[in-house]
Chains A and B, each alone.
Chain A
Amino acid sequence: DSGVTQTPKHLITATGQRVTLRCSPRSGDLSVYWYQQSLDQGLQFLIQYYNGEERAKGNILERFSAQQFPDLHSELNLSSLELGDSALYFCASSVIGDSNQPQHFGDGTRLSIL
Protein backbone atom coordinates (compact mmCIF):
# COMPACT_ATOMS: atom_id res chain seq x y z
CA ASP A 1 0.00 0.00 0.00
CA SER A 2 1.55 3.27 -1.17
CA GLY A 3 -0.53 5.42 1.16
CA VAL A 4 -1.99 7.40 -1.76
CA THR A 5 -5.79 7.05 -1.92
CA GLN A 6 -7.81 7.62 -5.07
CA THR A 7 -11.57 7.61 -5.43
CA PRO A 8 -13.59 6.37 -7.14
CA LYS A 9 -11.91 3.23 -8.46
CA HIS A 10 -14.17 3.06 -11.48
CA LEU A 11 -16.25 5.68 -13.24
CA ILE A 12 -18.56 5.12 -16.18
CA THR A 13 -20.16 8.08 -17.87
CA ALA A 14 -21.23 9.41 -21.24
CA THR A 15 -19.73 11.81 -23.74
CA GLY A 16 -20.20 15.46 -22.90
CA GLN A 17 -20.39 14.85 -19.16
CA ARG A 18 -18.16 16.16 -16.36
CA VAL A 19 -16.46 14.10 -13.65
CA THR A 20 -14.27 14.75 -10.64
CA LEU A 21 -11.50 12.42 -9.51
CA ARG A 22 -10.15 12.68 -6.00
CA CYS A 23 -6.73 12.01 -4.52
CA SER A 24 -5.44 12.01 -0.97
CA PRO A 25 -1.63 12.06 -0.81
CA ARG A 26 0.53 10.11 1.62
CA SER A 27 0.70 11.61 5.07
CA GLY A 28 3.39 14.29 5.08
CA ASP A 29 3.59 14.66 1.30
CA LEU A 30 3.06 18.19 0.02
CA SER A 31 3.19 17.57 -3.71
CA VAL A 32 0.59 15.86 -5.88
CA TYR A 33 0.98 14.79 -9.49
CA TRP A 34 -1.68 13.60 -11.94
CA TYR A 35 -0.91 11.15 -14.75
CA GLN A 36 -3.01 9.63 -17.51
CA GLN A 37 -2.37 6.05 -18.64
CA SER A 38 -3.81 4.88 -21.94
CA LEU A 39 -2.91 1.94 -24.13
CA ASP A 40 -1.55 4.05 -26.98
CA GLN A 41 0.09 6.87 -25.00
CA GLY A 42 1.49 5.11 -21.95
CA LEU A 43 1.91 7.10 -18.74
CA GLN A 44 1.64 10.83 -19.43
CA PHE A 45 2.17 13.60 -16.92
CA LEU A 46 -0.77 16.00 -16.66
CA ILE A 47 -0.18 18.46 -13.84
CA GLN A 48 1.54 18.96 -10.50
CA TYR A 49 0.56 20.86 -7.37
CA TYR A 50 2.75 21.74 -4.44
CA ASN A 51 1.26 22.91 -1.17
CA GLY A 52 -1.84 24.22 -2.88
CA GLU A 53 -0.22 25.90 -5.84
CA GLU A 54 0.15 24.72 -9.41
CA ARG A 55 3.81 23.89 -10.04
CA ALA A 56 4.00 22.34 -13.49
CA LYS A 57 1.80 21.49 -16.42
CA GLY A 58 2.22 18.69 -18.89
CA ASN A 59 -0.02 17.45 -21.67
CA ILE A 60 -3.23 18.51 -19.98
CA LEU A 61 -6.18 19.46 -22.15
CA GLU A 62 -7.99 22.74 -21.59
CA ARG A 63 -11.12 20.70 -20.75
CA PHE A 64 -9.25 19.33 -17.74
CA SER A 65 -8.42 21.24 -14.57
CA ALA A 66 -7.15 20.41 -11.14
CA GLN A 67 -6.71 21.93 -7.71
CA GLN A 68 -5.13 21.11 -4.39
CA PHE A 69 -6.97 22.04 -1.23
CA PRO A 70 -5.62 23.31 2.13
CA ASP A 71 -5.79 19.77 3.54
CA LEU A 72 -3.56 18.78 0.58
CA HIS A 73 -6.03 16.50 -1.13
CA SER A 74 -6.39 17.13 -4.85
CA GLU A 75 -9.16 16.88 -7.41
CA LEU A 76 -8.91 16.45 -11.16
CA ASN A 77 -11.91 17.76 -13.07
CA LEU A 78 -12.60 16.45 -16.58
CA SER A 79 -15.34 18.15 -18.61
CA SER A 80 -16.96 17.81 -22.02
CA LEU A 81 -15.78 14.23 -21.99
CA GLU A 82 -14.91 12.49 -25.22
CA LEU A 83 -14.48 8.80 -26.01
CA GLY A 84 -10.73 9.33 -26.16
CA ASP A 85 -10.65 10.40 -22.53
CA SER A 86 -11.24 6.81 -21.48
CA ALA A 87 -8.10 5.88 -19.55
CA LEU A 88 -6.62 5.19 -16.16
CA TYR A 89 -5.92 8.33 -14.16
CA PHE A 90 -3.25 8.10 -11.49
CA CYS A 91 -2.33 10.41 -8.72
CA ALA A 92 1.15 10.35 -7.18
CA SER A 93 2.60 12.24 -4.26
CA SER A 94 6.03 13.15 -2.99
CA VAL A 95 7.38 14.92 0.06
CA ILE A 96 8.39 18.02 -1.87
CA GLY A 97 8.16 18.82 -5.53
CA ASP A 98 11.41 20.30 -6.65
CA SER A 99 14.00 17.64 -6.01
CA ASN A 100 14.47 14.03 -6.91
CA GLN A 101 12.19 12.63 -4.28
CA PRO A 102 10.37 9.39 -5.07
CA GLN A 103 6.82 9.68 -6.35
CA HIS A 104 4.38 7.18 -4.90
CA PHE A 105 1.32 6.25 -6.92
CA GLY A 106 -2.24 5.42 -5.97
CA ASP A 107 -4.16 2.59 -7.61
CA GLY A 108 -5.89 4.93 -10.03
CA THR A 109 -9.37 5.69 -11.28
CA ARG A 110 -10.51 3.84 -14.37
CA LEU A 111 -12.65 6.18 -16.46
CA SER A 112 -14.84 4.69 -19.16
CA ILE A 113 -16.71 6.94 -21.56
CA LEU A 114 -19.65 5.34 -23.34
Chain B
Amino acid sequence: GENVEQHPSTLSVQEGDSAVIKCTYSDSASNYFPWYKQELGKGPQLIIDIRSNVGEKKDQRIAVTLNKTAKHFSLHITETQPEDSAVYFCAAKMDSSYKLIFGSGTRLLVRP
Protein backbone atom coordinates (compact mmCIF):
# COMPACT_ATOMS: atom_id res chain seq x y z
CA GLY B 1 0.00 0.00 0.00
CA GLU B 2 0.86 3.66 -0.11
CA ASN B 3 3.58 4.83 2.24
CA VAL B 4 4.88 8.33 2.91
CA GLU B 5 8.26 8.99 4.51
CA GLN B 6 9.03 12.39 5.98
CA HIS B 7 12.36 13.94 6.97
CA PRO B 8 13.68 15.34 9.18
CA SER B 9 11.73 14.43 12.30
CA THR B 10 12.95 17.61 14.03
CA LEU B 11 14.28 20.85 12.59
CA SER B 12 15.62 23.87 14.44
CA VAL B 13 16.31 27.10 12.56
CA GLN B 14 17.12 30.69 13.43
CA GLU B 15 14.39 33.24 12.90
CA GLY B 16 14.68 34.61 9.38
CA ASP B 17 16.30 31.49 7.95
CA SER B 18 14.61 29.05 5.58
CA ALA B 19 13.26 25.63 6.50
CA VAL B 20 12.85 22.68 4.15
CA ILE B 21 10.92 19.49 4.90
CA LYS B 22 11.01 16.58 2.49
CA CYS B 23 8.62 13.70 1.83
CA THR B 24 8.81 10.64 -0.36
CA TYR B 25 5.82 8.60 -1.47
CA SER B 26 5.72 5.05 -2.72
CA ASP B 27 2.73 4.83 -5.05
CA SER B 28 3.18 6.53 -8.42
CA ALA B 29 -0.63 6.81 -8.70
CA SER B 30 -0.62 9.45 -5.96
CA ASN B 31 -1.73 12.77 -7.38
CA TYR B 32 -2.64 15.04 -4.47
CA PHE B 33 -0.17 16.25 -1.84
CA PRO B 34 -1.33 18.50 1.00
CA TRP B 35 0.75 19.91 3.84
CA TYR B 36 -0.66 20.45 7.31
CA LYS B 37 0.56 22.47 10.29
CA GLN B 38 -0.40 21.25 13.73
CA GLU B 39 0.00 23.47 16.77
CA LEU B 40 -0.20 22.19 20.32
CA GLY B 41 -3.75 21.31 21.26
CA LYS B 42 -5.09 21.93 17.78
CA GLY B 43 -6.02 19.85 14.79
CA PRO B 44 -3.96 19.76 11.58
CA GLN B 45 -4.45 22.94 9.57
CA LEU B 46 -4.11 22.82 5.79
CA ILE B 47 -1.45 25.32 4.74
CA ILE B 48 -0.81 24.44 1.10
CA ASP B 49 -1.48 21.64 -1.34
CA ILE B 50 -0.31 20.63 -4.79
CA ARG B 51 -1.67 18.38 -7.49
CA SER B 52 0.40 16.17 -9.72
CA ASN B 53 -0.09 18.30 -12.83
CA VAL B 54 1.84 21.13 -11.18
CA GLY B 55 5.53 21.17 -10.28
CA GLU B 56 5.55 24.07 -7.84
CA LYS B 57 3.10 26.20 -5.91
CA LYS B 58 3.76 29.24 -3.79
CA ASP B 59 1.74 31.14 -1.20
CA GLN B 60 3.59 34.06 0.37
CA ARG B 61 6.42 32.57 2.48
CA ILE B 62 5.40 28.97 1.83
CA ALA B 63 6.13 26.93 -1.29
CA VAL B 64 5.80 23.29 -2.23
CA THR B 65 7.69 21.51 -4.99
CA LEU B 66 6.84 18.16 -6.55
CA ASN B 67 9.12 15.80 -8.44
CA LYS B 68 6.91 13.06 -9.86
CA THR B 69 9.80 11.13 -11.39
CA ALA B 70 11.60 10.83 -8.07
CA LYS B 71 8.29 10.58 -6.17
CA HIS B 72 9.13 13.25 -3.65
CA PHE B 73 7.78 16.62 -2.63
CA SER B 74 9.07 19.31 -0.32
CA LEU B 75 7.79 22.18 1.79
CA HIS B 76 9.84 25.36 1.82
CA ILE B 77 9.28 28.09 4.40
CA THR B 78 11.25 31.29 3.91
CA GLU B 79 11.90 34.09 6.40
CA THR B 80 10.80 31.87 9.26
CA GLN B 81 9.11 33.42 12.29
CA PRO B 82 8.64 32.05 15.83
CA GLU B 83 4.94 31.51 15.08
CA ASP B 84 5.97 29.01 12.38
CA SER B 85 7.03 26.67 15.21
CA ALA B 86 4.74 23.64 15.05
CA VAL B 87 4.58 20.06 13.77
CA TYR B 88 4.26 19.82 9.99
CA PHE B 89 2.76 16.81 8.22
CA CYS B 90 2.91 15.91 4.57
CA ALA B 91 0.32 13.61 3.04
CA ALA B 92 -0.41 11.87 -0.24
CA LYS B 93 -3.60 10.65 -1.85
CA MET B 94 -4.44 8.67 -4.94
CA ASP B 95 -7.38 9.77 -7.04
CA SER B 96 -8.89 6.30 -6.67
CA SER B 97 -8.59 6.41 -2.90
CA TYR B 98 -10.55 8.36 -0.34
CA LYS B 99 -7.93 8.56 2.36
CA LEU B 100 -4.88 10.65 3.05
CA ILE B 101 -1.66 8.83 3.92
CA PHE B 102 0.33 10.97 6.31
CA GLY B 103 4.04 11.25 6.91
CA SER B 104 5.31 10.90 10.46
CA GLY B 105 5.64 14.64 11.01
CA THR B 106 8.42 17.21 11.45
CA ARG B 107 8.71 19.28 14.60
CA LEU B 108 9.93 22.72 13.52
CA LEU B 109 11.40 25.08 16.09
CA VAL B 110 12.17 28.65 15.05
CA ARG B 111 14.56 30.25 17.51
CA PRO B 112 14.09 33.99 18.04
Residues of A participating in the B interface, judged by any CB pair closer than 8 Å: 2, 4, 6, 33, 42-45, 48, 55-56, 58, 90, 97-100, 102-108
Contacting pair A105 B104 (CB below 8 A):
no
Measured between beta carbons, the chain A residues less than 8 angstroms from B51 are 100
- Whether a CB of chain A sits under 8 angstroms from the CB of B102 is yes
B66 CB, min distance to chain A CBs, angstroms: 13
A90 pairs with B98, CB closer than 8 A: no
**Residue contact B98 to A105, C-beta cutoff 8 Å:** no
The complex places the Cα of A16 from the Cα of B99 at a distance, in Å, of 29
Determine whether the beta carbon of A100 is less than 8 Å from that of B99.
no
**Chain B residues at the A interface, C-beta cutoff of 8 Å:** 31-32, 34, 36, 41-46, 49, 51, 89, 93, 95, 97-105
User: In the complex, what's the smallest C-beta–C-beta distance from A45 to chain B, in angstroms?
Assistant: 4
Partner of B43, one of A56, A90, A97, A98: A90
Could you say which residues of chain B place their CB within 8 Å of the CB of A33?
A: 98-100
> By the criterion CB–CB under 8 Å, are A56 and B98 in contact?
yes
Q: How close is A109's CB to chain B, nearest CB, in angstroms?
A: 10
Contact A100 B95 (CB under 8 A): yes
Q: Is the CB of B105 within 8 A of A42?
A: yes
Closest 3 A-B residue pairs measured CB to CB? Answer: A100-B32, A105-B43, A56-B98
CA distance A97 to B105 in the complex (A): 24
Distance of A2 Cα from B43 Cα, bound (Å): 9
- Measured CB to CB, the closest approach of chain B to A87, in angstroms, equals 13
Q: Is A2 in contact with B45, judged by CB distance below 8 angstroms? A: yes
| Known A103-B46, A105-B43, A108-B43: A56·B99 in contact at CB below 8 Å | yes
Contact B102 A42 (CB under 8 A): yes
Chain B residue with minimal CB distance to A98?
B98
- Residues on the A chain within 8 Å of B99, using CB: 33, 45, 48, 56, 58
